[in-house]
Amino acid sequence: MLQIQVIRENKEEVVRRLAKKNFKGLEIIDQIVQTDADRRSTQTELDSLKADANAIAKQIGEMMKSGKKAEAEDLKNKSTALKETEKALQERLNTAEAELEKLLVLVPNLPADVVPEGRLPEDNKTVFTHGEIPALYEGAQPHWDLAAKYDLIDFELGVKLTGAGFPVYKGKGARLQRALINFFLDRATAAGYLEVQPPILVNADSGFGTGQLPDKEGQMYHVTVDDLYLIPTAEVPITNIYRDVIVKAEDLPIKNCGYTPCFRREAGSYGKDVRGLNRLHQFDKVEIVQIQHPDKSYQTLEEMREFVAGLLKDLELPFRTLLLCGGDMSFASAQTYDMEVFSAAQQRWLEVSSVSNFEAFQSNRLKLRYREGSEKPRLAHTLNGSALALPRIVAALLENNQEPDGIRIPKVLVPYTGFDKIN
């Protein structure tokens, strides 16, 4: 959520920058400015009315003490009359505030200046590539066939237990999952991230805090009996740890990491995009989150990007880093890098990580602030990134490392898997 002061004071600039994000509701900005003006004038009026009423109440109190009952009665009537106006104004203020919030929540974050123009994936800018695209032997298979061949993942069984998109990992397949999770967590910890194990169900306040609600309500599984949501990413509970918190400036950056399963309804997905591990309803991911001072958040974004790239290098996977264009970025992000690995049998790039700086967009919803000395609290910046999402990593590992006699495990993972070959 953008800060109302920012919109109020820099309306032209906001409109201009939103255009890059392909935001079509520019008239919303006008409505916001107008609703805000109404809200403020109403509050001014209401506050002064309340001040009068408070003063009268105080006088009545003094009269009651000194026994001037009759005079107090007069004042009571006067105060009762004020209350009628007060009630109407209060309702108007409530309406204006609700309306303002409803509108503000519709406005996406402003993209950073370096974000390229464009609305399609083709407009994303490749800023880095690494590794050779492997030449596979004759008869190489896509990961879903390999998973069946070596009995690593049972998609059919998942359908029986739950439904499509909930695979069952077995044997070395399950072990590989565990190995990757541990490897990612160890690396994040070594990089200074504090590991946390958050709940994987969250309440509506948390969903709102990171921007999943109300914008993407349909993307989350909703446990209606208890009104809780299954998290689509650990970003939600981890970032919400800092909801309504004022941290000391010297404690920044705050670095947290965590492993959680993630749940996404993925309504509307179909075809080759969802084949095998490409898109699941439940998947595992290690997430890194930072709370940072506004002056340093872009430097931090680059560090996080480097960190994720380091993981992919160590896993010996060919990858590229994209700087997303305005139209392809998420609602809440100011700047996003996507990391994609090349899946050799499918001959396509698969997104395995998204690293973003949200600037103060999430903080504003979260009321996440930092304080410098004795100054007024100011909104902190939040950042997060996948480090990493497992299924597509597994897909690429299986496909790229397949050899006639089995699938080779990258060296860094062997201590975690306990085997160097799947056969």
Partner RNA sequence: GGAGACGUGUCCGAGUGGUUGAAGGAGCACGCCUGGAAAGUGUGUAUACCCCAAAAGGGUAUCGCGAGUUCGAAUCUCGCCGUCUCCGCCA
The nearest distance, CB 351 to RNA, in angstroms, is 35
- How many residues lie near RNA (CB under 7 A)? 31
Own/partner long-range contacts of 96-103 (Cβ < 8 Å, ≥24 apart)? 96/35, 96/38, 96/39, 96/42, 97/39, 99/35, 100/4, 100/32, 100/35, 100/36, 100/39, 103/28, 103/31, 103/32, 103/35
Strand partners, 257: 195, 288
Stretch of 78-86, 107-115, 185-193, 385-393 contacting RNA, by CB under 7 A: 78-86
Contact 383, 355 (CB under 8 A): yes
Give the shortest CB-47-to-RNA separation in angstroms. Answer: 4
267 CB contacts (<8 Å, ≥6 apart)? 218, 219
| Three-state secondary-structure class, residue 372 | coil
Q: Is 61 in the site for RNA (CB under 7 A)?
A: yes
Q: Which is nearer to RNA, 4 or 323 (CB)?
A: 4
Per the omega criterion (within 30 degrees of 0), is the bond before 214 cis? yes
**Could you say whether residue 48 binds RNA (CB under 7 A)?**
yes
Binding mask 317-336 for RNA (x = CB under 7 A): --------------------
Q: Least separation, in Å, of the C-beta of 170 and RNA?
A: 23
CA distance 159 to 268: 18
Report the DSSP beta bridge partners of residue 348: 343
Degrees, nearest 5: CA angle 195-287-313: 105
In 3D space, the residue among 250, 227, 207 whose CA is nearest the CA of residue 366 turns out to be 207
- With CB under 7 A as the contact rule, the residue among 9, 16, 30, 51 that binds RNA is 51
Taking the complex as a whole, how short is the minimal distance between the CB of residue 373 and RNA, in angstroms? 9
Radius of gyration of the chain (CA): 27
291/413 with CB nearer RNA? 291
- Asked if residue 24 binds RNA (CB under 7 A), the reply is no
**Of 137 and 374, which CB lies nearer to RNA in the complex structure?**
374
Q: Nearest distance from residue 64's CB to RNA, in Å?
A: 4
Which of 325, 381, 326, 318 has its CA nearest to residue 352?
A: 318
Structure tokens at 355: 């690293």
User: Rule CB under 7 A: which of 243-262 touch RNA?
Assistant: 246
Using an 8 Å Cβ cutoff, are 23 and 215 in contact?
no
Among 16, 25, 54, 306, binds RNA (CB under 7 A): 54
Residue selected from 13, 16, 30, 57 as contacting RNA according to rule CB under 7 A: 57
Among 2, 60, 262, 394, which residue sits at the site for RNA (rule: CB under 7 A)? 60
Binding positions for RNA, 83-122, rule CB under 7 A = 83
- Sign for the pseudo-dihedral over CA of 216, 338, 304, 419: positive
Among 13, 47, 74, 217, binds RNA (CB under 7 A): 47
Report the alpha-carbon distance of residue 284 to residue 98 in Å, rounded: 37
The reply to whether 178 sits near RNA by the rule CB under 7 A is no
Binding residue (CB under 7 A) for RNA from 43, 85, 282, 330: 43
67 vs 404 by CB, closer to RNA = 67
Q: Which stretch binds RNA (CB under 7 A): 18-26, 75-83, 172-180, 282-290?
A: 75-83
Cβ-based nearer residue to RNA, 61 or 418: 61
CB of 365 to RNA, least distance (A): 13
- When asked if residue 44 is in the footprint of RNA (CB under 7 A), the reply is yes
CA 308 to chain CA centroid, Å, is 17
Q: How far apart are CA 281 and CA 139, in angstroms?
A: 30
Site residues, RNA (CB under 7 A): 4-5, 39-41, 43-44, 46-48, 50-51, 53-58, 60-62, 64, 76, 79-80, 83, 246, 369, 371, 376-377
